[in-house]
Amino acid sequence: MIWIALRMLTGDRQKFYGLVFGVAFSTLLITQQLTIFANLLERGASGVYNVPDADVWVMDPATRTIEVAYPLPSTALDRVRSVPGILWAVPHLRATASVRTGAGNLEAVAIVGVDDSTLVGLPPRVAPGKVAALTSPGSVIIDDVGAGRMFGVGNPVIGQRFELNDQRAVIRGVTDSFPNFTNQVTLYTRYSEALSYVPGTRNRLTFILVKGDGAMTDQELAHRIAKISGLRARSSEQFADDAIEYILENTGIPMNFGITVGLGFIIGVAIVGLTFSLFIRDSIKQFGALKAMGVSNKAIRRMVTAQASMIGLIGYSLGLVGTALFVWGFSNSATFKGFYIPWQVPLISFSAVALILAATSRIALNRLMTTEPAAVFR
């Protein structure tokens, strides 16, 4: 009977396409919005992901995220270095400054000061340009998204000069890194150089990056550093989670995306529910005849389930392919750089689609179950 059910479904092309479209559109909306949401959240932790060498981030106890940091006294570095179990600890500066471009435009940029001797704190991939060039005075490396934003996509960047807080800076390289949450231009320079770019305050060291000797887990090391130094220490993983939590708690993003995902669900229920109800209503005479002939309610339930499953699988697959095409299509855009579909997102949208179809099938089935076989003679 499954074969008959599927033929009944596909025979009415208009309704079949309407149902598939409804599920596909819902899946697309839910999957695409959740994908953007998840990737945006991850961008909140991009500063952590861009420094894979660091096992632990040490900061002032008041600091919550990489973007909202309270400076430490320079003596904090020695305190941290004295903690047993540390292979190395280097200073890391994060601040904002204003840049005047060659065209005379003013742009707010993030300044990242990396360790002078080891250059720890720099994203691992730099191209074009050379990391070594950073040792020259007045040298900076710019992030690729920021470069496109400041100088235009495709324009030459290496060798470009600009004014950074009244000081000259020359771009010596471009990183291939995770863009930050606000898509702000990020300039990487040596720590000592960064101090001269950032307006002077008594304390300017924002983070200490630590590598453990491998004798304990990162969390254990962070716990030990915090205990001994009195500073806040978080493993990279914890600190990335902190950044994501900060966005969730302090911005309207979850609510906005939640509303869109909710709308996707409601649209799915509306389109699929209405079309499926229409399909069942139009087929009720045929189902009634089948019931009269001796097709059991159990078989009818299986038929409707098969129909819903077919609509769900095709619609869901199309919606997922649509999202993949969206991500792929915009992969070259700076706004969507590095976007991917986290494995949890298809599962969530699959559950949503299953829920939509279960609800609409249930309503349709109620109607069929209460249809008396004798109705075919009336």
Partner 1 sequence: MTPVTRQSAAISARGVTRAFRSGSQVVDVLHGVDLDIRAGELTYLIGESGSGKTTLVSILCGILWPTAGDVRVFGTDIYTLSDRELTDFRLRNIGFIFQQYNLLSSIDAASNAAVPLIAQGMRVVEARDQALAMLEKLNIADQAEKLPSQLSGGQQQRVAIARALVHAPKLIVCDEPTAALDATSGRRVMNLLREVAIQRDRACIIVTHDNRVFDLADRIVELEDGRIIDQGRQLSETD
Interaction site with partner 1 (CB under 8 A):
1, 3-4, 7-12, 285-286, 288-297, 299, 372-374, 376-378
Q: How far apart are CA 275 and CA 155, in angstroms?
A: 51
Q: Nearest approach, Cβ of 149 to partner 1 (angstroms)?
A: 55
Task: Locate all alpha helices (DSSP H) within the chain, ordered by sequence.
Answer: 2-11, 13-43, 46-49, 75-81, 144-151, 191-197, 218-229, 236-250, 253-293, 297-329, 344-369
Q: Nearest approach, Cβ of 2 to partner 1 (angstroms)?
A: 10
Q: Nearest approach, Cβ of 271 to partner 1 (angstroms)?
A: 21
Handedness of CA 63, 68, 70, 71 (dihedral sign): positive
Contact 15, 275 (CB under 8 A): yes
Q: Return the amino acid letter for 103.
A: A
Question: Cβ closer to partner 1: 91 or 288?
Answer: 288
Question: Cβ closer to partner 1: 87 or 289?
Answer: 289
Question: Cβ closer to partner 1: 7 or 202?
Answer: 7
Q: Nearest approach, Cβ of 274 to partner 1 (angstroms)?
A: 20
Contact 129, 315 (CB under 8 A): no
Q: Nearest approach, Cβ of 317 to partner 1 (angstroms)?
A: 23
Question: Cβ closer to partner 1: 4 or 359?
Answer: 4
Question: Cβ closer to partner 1: 8 or 97?
Answer: 8
Q: Nearest approach, Cβ of 184 to partner 1 (angstroms)?
A: 58
Q: How many residues does the chain have?
A: 378
- The DSSP secondary-structure symbol of 205 reads B
Q: Residue 319: CB partners within 8 Å, gap ≥ 6? A: 23, 24, 25, 26, 27, 28, 30, 31, 349, 353
Question: Cβ closer to partner 1: 154 or 294?
Answer: 294
